[in-house]
A and B are shown apart, each in its own frame.
Chain A
Amino acid sequence: MPDAPGGTLYRGREGMWSWVAHRVTGVLIFFFLLVHVLDTALVRVDPEAYNAVIGAYKTPIMGLGEAGLVAAIVFHAFNGIRIVLVDYWAKGPRYQRVMLYVVLGLFVVTMAGFLPRHLINVFGGGH
């Protein structure tokens, strides 16, 4: 076996890159859930500490993080439905590419509804 079996990156198409994006967003969501369970569990241990932690989330950096989290969840959710259809709908494999563009369209629409409102809340100083 050669030392460096890699070589160039495989040039897969939409199917492969949507799988990569699904993996990446899935791992991100998993780590969020881990932190989320821990910080919410804190309220049972020490309500004061819980308030301090939640307060720390109300910073612009965390606000941008939340935007990223919503983006990851929205893509993962819509693409998850696409994957279910690819596996269980007889015509799924034929329309997988079309369905990916529908997923991306729905993603853009959802984020267009969410982002302005969210960013105003984060940076508008309303709260």
Chain B
Amino acid sequence: MTAVLDTPAQDTTPAEVATFQVTLKVRRYNPESEHGDAAYWDTFTVEAHATDRVLDALHKIKWEHDGSLTFRRSCAHGVCGSDAMRINGRNRLACKTLLKDVNPDKPITVEPIKGLPVVKDLVVDMEPFFASYREIMPFLITSGNEPSRERIQSPEDRARFDDTTKCILCAACTSSCPVFWTDGQYFGPAAIVNAHRFIFDSRDEGAAQRLEILNDKEGVWRCRTTFNCTEACPRGIQVTKAIQEVKRAMITRAF
């Protein structure tokens, strides 16, 4: 049955959305500009609506003020994980951060995420991040013949790793980690989260191999439980908890 309105629609014209001036302080880097190899701050003031996100303000700057401002974004709705950046000192997705939530009365600082080489403005080289991701073998590993039907799993077994299936690989967690900033060799939270997703999957048989990889000197034991990753995750994944579960699995499954 199709849903119908019982009462005639009332006047639904929305109230006028308030507009205000917002200042963005953007950390920029362009080796081809007159600034050369030095990063510098650029300040822009744009008009924004109360419903706008930081990404909308960046768009406005790029489309109306300075077309050379460079940043990544794809879906612009918190799904693709392209626009992780450091907004007011914390890693967030620009498309999920409302201007009104980051105090638009003061200039909002926008910087590239830390720990990865900056290519231009807010764009960083994600290759070291994805290299770690590939290393933990983020795919189902099984043995024997392929079954002729689905691989059945109980709801409880599925719930075991539900939290870590939400990762969108935006690198907000890995680039919020003090260990990763000083030592780019560390696997980083995102790789461990994606290993967790398979280690605790009852259908997967590669857990021992993944634990072996993460038992490395640069593996899970480098985690210093600063909880920056858990705070930064735009998907609300309990990242530090997942890392801790991998650490404990390493000990309990060794005996």
Contact = CB atoms under 8 A, between A and B. Distances in A.
Contacts of B248: 87-88, 90
B82 interface: no
A10 B38 contact: no
B86 A19 contact: no
Contacts of A9: 89
A116 interface: no
A1 B118 contact: yes
Contacts of A5: 39, 114, 118
A93 interface: yes
Contacts of B111: 7-8
A4 B38 contact: yes
B96 interface: no
Given A7-B86, A7-B111, A15 B225 contact: yes
A69 interface: no
B244 A92 contact: yes
Contacts, number: 86
B166 interface: no
Contacts of A87: 225, 244, 247-248
B117 interface: yes
Contacts of B88: 11
B176 A10 contact: yes
Most chain B CB inside 10 Å of its own CB: which residue of A4, A15, A92: A15
Interface in B222-255: 224-228, 230-231, 238, 240-241, 244, 247-248
Contact of B89 (A1, A3, A8, A14): A8
- Kindly state the interface size class of chain B when it binds its partner: 20 to 34
B117 A13 contact: no
A13 B230 CA distance: 11
A126 interface: no
A3 B244 contact: no
A44 to B, nearest CB: 38
A12 B178 CA distance: 10
Given A7-B39, A7-B111, A12-B228, 4 more contacts: A2-B29, A2-B38, A2-B39, A13-B228
12 contacts: A7-B27, A8-B109, A9-B89, A10-B86, A10-B89, A10-B178, A10-B228, A13-B227, A15-B225, A19-B225, A83-B225, A86-B225
Closest 10 interchain pairs by CB?
A15-B227, A11-B89, A2-B39, A93-B241, A2-B29, A19-B226, A16-B226, A7-B111, A3-B38, A15-B226
Interface of B: 27, 29, 37-39, 86, 88-90, 109, 111, 114, 117-118, 176, 178, 224-228, 230-231, 238, 240-241, 244, 247-248
